[in-house]
Amino acid sequence: MHFFQRLEETSTRNTSLLCVGLDPDPKRLPDWCLEFADPVLTFNRHIIDLTCDLVCAYKPNIAFYEALGGNGWSTLYDTILYAHSKGIPVILDAKRGDIGSSAEKYAHAVFQRMGADAVTVNPYMGWDAVEPFVRYAERGVFVLCLTSNAGAQDFQMLDGNGRPLYEHVAEQAAGWNERGNIGLVAGATYPDELGCVRLLAPDLWILLPGVGAQGANLEIAVDYALRRDGSGVIVNASRAVYWADDPREAALRLRDQINAVRARKLEQVAQERRARPRASTDPHKVSLALALHDVGAIQFGNFTLQSGVQSPIYVDLRLLVSKPEALALAASEYGRILENLVFDRLAAIPYAGLPLGTAVALQTRTPLIYPRKEVKSYGTRRAIEGWYHAGETVVVLDDLITSGASKLDAIKPLRDAGLLVHDVVVLIDRESGGSEELAAHHINVHSVFKLRDLLDILVHHERISADQRAQVENFLQMQTA
């Protein structure tokens, strides 16, 4: 069975997202263990017996077994076997990271020799250091993304082209997950960054260290790491359970605390669903809306628009050129609007409107022209590219409309050339007064989406939260007040 299937099965059976770390120190073992030939293995079995109905996985750290010398390997192997006998999968915390044949041998060792169900790996050397592990499609591979130690800030939070390195790792790991066997390691000690990791990798399982002895706030960290289905996170506790006076009581307390957070998360999601606005059920619009989100064209944050206004949302439809399927969906929706208009040719506004206009022209077999942003000082010196005749009617195409000023600027050379402009078609109307401004100049604006309608679809299909939609609603009301 695939590792994550086994994990889900165990988590459901034990109603648990708790993982107990099995990290022995011979000097701390109780005296009663010393009577046995392998006291570490004896104590590990004791911990497993006490907690096997309270956990979803165990996580031995390989360093503690290497430190035992030659016998450490057999102790680790037998510990994994014993956990399996209780029906619990094992994540071997090895943090391997090497290239080529070395990585292949490491993968063979942890999976084939030691029998681990999953392993932690270091992505610092890139895909060729991770791929030999991912090749074992039935095993799990947890990529170090944001570790829980203080030194994580030395490299993992360094700026990389305007974003911290750990964000690039999260995105890259999600892209590597073609076999469905990759997860992430993200520490509970950095809750805000942890929340960012979850946003970047909404479906991946997160192995969450830092709870317990490292002092992270369990409730905050688990809330930030959980998926919307109340799962998707493995909360690791090592010393807090392994060396507790009563390991079973410590594990039970942690499991119940985690489950309380899960219950609140699920109730929050349920409330959002009950409050969800009615959204379009047009399958064409729904498919396009989801494609726009998935390509990254809808972004939330704090953005300065061309008008200088600060906005909580930014729509970047230039990204459509990198997703031909989404561009084709958009062109089809433009075509549906154009079926009800009367015109001779199309006119696309550079720059964002030009690839959209080209796609629409190809789908509808309609001639296309475009007004230049800057007239060349050489060659034909045309202000408008393409063939046309004065007196013809053109429909202007662009990506979106905020205010009407930029549309009027683009329409002016068309009208100066004797072309008639009565209609503008955009993919998104940001509902910031642009349509009303053009109406004052006897130009009708037709949009595939009003911004609010687009966001309603994304909320309904759980691509964004109701809170994100509410932020935009407040912004729009302030704009039109």
Enzyme catalytic residues: 95
- Are 221 and 190 contacting, i.e. CB atoms less than 8 angstroms apart? no
- Are 51 and 248 contacting, i.e. CB atoms less than 8 angstroms apart? yes
- Are 333 and 284 contacting, i.e. CB atoms less than 8 angstroms apart? yes
- Are 222 and 249 contacting, i.e. CB atoms less than 8 angstroms apart? no
- Are 212 and 189 contacting, i.e. CB atoms less than 8 angstroms apart? no
Query: What number of residues does the chain have?
Result: 481
Strand order in the sheet with 233-237: 57-59, 18-21, 233-237, 206-208, 182-186, 140-146, 118-121, 91-96
Cα separation of 127 and 131, whole Å?
6
Cα separation of 198 and 190, whole Å?
12
- Are 315 and 309 contacting, i.e. CB atoms less than 8 angstroms apart? no
Cα separation of 434 and 349, whole Å?
16
3-state helix, strand, coil in the chain (%, to 5): 50, 20, 30
Pick from 338, 332, 302, 299: nearest CA to 425: 338
Helix (H) or strand (E) holding 196: helix 191-200
Q: Quickly list DSSP for 120-179.
A: EE-GGG-HHHHHHHHTSTTSEEEEEEE-SSTTHHHHTTSEETTEEHHHHHHHHHHHHGGG
Pick from 1, 17, 3, 57: nearest CA to 182: 3
Cα separation of 232 and 202, whole Å?
9
Cα separation of 106 and 2, whole Å?
20
* SS3 of residue 303 by DSSP: strand
Bridge-based pairing state of the strands 18-21 and 159-160: unpaired
Cα separation of 27 and 67, whole Å?
12
Residues 6+ apart with CB under 8 A from 447: 401, 425, 426, 427, 428, 429, 435
- Are 145 and 169 contacting, i.e. CB atoms less than 8 angstroms apart? yes
Cα separation of 139 and 113, whole Å?
13
Task: State the virtual CA torsion across 376, 378, 379, 382 in degrees, nearest 10.
Answer: 30
DSSP 8-state secondary structure symbol assigned to residue 252: H
